[in-house]
């Protein structure tokens, strides 16, 4: 990710952004794990496998492909990035310029997240907040909500013309059966727990959710999720300190795993 001093165009964010960003990555990371899990295949009439292979060779993409064989597997974060690259190619951006965009978005530690800021704004878009990536002629990239973009531009923090790509529209293409279109009519001030719940509901992360509240605030969240059978039991146990785990076995093999976790909200 490019240092701020090297950028000509800047976003304006307050303490609320810092708190929400930290909570997203260092709190309950269920949504982050889902967005980063490479288990999806990419289908698009506009982007052939030959093109994907070319972009991969140029260092624009990375995929899960054991020993270079079999179908490429992408995360939702990867697929959103492929759509962004495709849109930029439609606008005539050279691959070298798109590489600069990637440098602006990338994080040094990819085990954390390849594109942490992009991931955070994807999460915002999943709650129907109008979220965008602004691409500037020199290859600079800026992630923002629509209100952030308008505020930064009015105060002169955004100086150059840009292409605005709507993350909500990309997610709508990926999840065609869900209503993820941006909602411009509301401006709810959601708590971090409410944001996490909205993301989980829209992505079907949990099979069951129970919520307790008092005084208009969430006090307890109990969630149940189905876990893939390939997941090792030790990994499940390490992922939480307080959880109920239910496993079903047939013919000596585990056929289903359910985990229920309760979280008290202070």
Query: Tens-of-pLDDT digits for all 266 residues of the chain?
Result: 555 546 788 888 877 888 888 888 887 788 888 899 888 888 888 898 899 989 999 999 987 665 666 678 899 999 999 999 999 999 999 999 999 999 988 876 655 688 999 999 999 999 899 999 999 999 999 999 998 999 889 889 999 999 999 999 999 999 988 888 998 876 556 666 776 777 777 667 778 888 888 877 788 888 888 887 666 777 777 777 778 888 888 888 888 888 888 877 76
Range of the domain at 96: 4-174
12 and 103 in a single domain? The answer is: yes
242 and 149 in a single domain? The answer is: no
Check residue 75 and report its DSSP letter. -
The answer to whether the beta carbons of residues 36 and 119 sit under 8 Å apart is yes
155 and 242 in a single domain? The answer is: no
Q: How many domains does the chain have?
A: 2
Which CA distances in Å does 204 have to 208, 211, 226? 9, 16, 10
Asked if residue 199 belongs to a domain, the reply is: no
Asked if residue 186 belongs to a domain, the reply is: no
Residue 137 pLDDT: 92
Q: Which of 125, 156, 174 is the last residue of a domain?
A: 174
Q: How far apart are CA 204 and CA 263, in angstroms?
A: 19
Residue 171 pLDDT: 96
Q: How far apart are CA 11 and CA 129, in angstroms?
A: 16
Asked if residue 258 belongs to a domain, the reply is: yes
Q: How far apart are CA 125 and CA 132, in angstroms?
A: 9
State residue 150 phi and psi, 5-degree precision. Answer: -65, -40
41-62 pLDDT, tens digit per residue, is 888 888 988 999 899 999 999 8
Residue 170 pLDDT: 96
Q: How far apart are CA 105 and CA 99, in angstroms?
A: 10
Asked if residue 72 belongs to a domain, the reply is: yes
Q: Among residues 228, 174, 209, 240, which one has the least CA distance to residue 35? A: 174
85 and 141 in a single domain? The answer is: yes
Residue 108 pLDDT: 62
Asked if residue 46 belongs to a domain, the reply is: yes
Asked if residue 71 belongs to a domain, the reply is: yes
Residue 65 pLDDT: 65
Asked if residue 211 belongs to a domain, the reply is: yes
34 and 98 in a single domain? The answer is: yes
Instruction: Report pTM.
Output: 0.75
Asked if residue 179 belongs to a domain, the reply is: no
106 and 219 in a single domain? The answer is: no
Residue 130 pLDDT: 94
């Amino acid at each position: 990710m490019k240092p701020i001093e090297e950028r000509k165009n800047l976003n304006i964010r307050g303490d609320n952004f810092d708190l929400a960003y930290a909570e997203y990555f260092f709190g309950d990371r269920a949504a982050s794990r889902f967005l980063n899990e490479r288990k999806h295949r990419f289908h698009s009439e506009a982007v052939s496998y030959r093109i994907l292979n070319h972009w991969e060779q140029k260092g624009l993409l990375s995929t899960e492909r054991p020993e270079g064989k079999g179908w490429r597997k992408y995360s939702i974060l990867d697929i959103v990035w492929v759509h962004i690259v495709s849109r930029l190619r439609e606008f005539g951006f050279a691959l070298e310029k798109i590489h600069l965009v990637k440098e602006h978005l990338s994080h040094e530690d990819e085990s954390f997240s390849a594109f942490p800021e992009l991931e955070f704004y994807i999460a915002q878009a999943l709650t129907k907040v109008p979220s965008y990536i602004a691409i500037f002629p020199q290859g600079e990239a800026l992630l923002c909500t629509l209100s952030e973009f308008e505020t930064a531009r009015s105060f002169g923090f955004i100086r150059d013309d840009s292409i605005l790509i709507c993350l909500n529209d990309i997610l709508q293409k990926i999840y065609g059966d869900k209503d993820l279109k941006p909602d411009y009519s509301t401006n709810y001030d959601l708590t971090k727990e409410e944001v996490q719940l909205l993301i989980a509901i829209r992505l079907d992360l949990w099979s069951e959710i129970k919520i307790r509240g008092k005084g208009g605030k969430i006090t307890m969240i109990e969630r149940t999720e189905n876990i893939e059978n390939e997941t090792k039991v030790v990994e499940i146990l390490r992922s939480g300190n307080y959880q109920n785990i239910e496993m079903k076995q047939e013919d000596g093999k585990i056929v289903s795993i359910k985990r229920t976790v309760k979280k008290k909200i202070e």
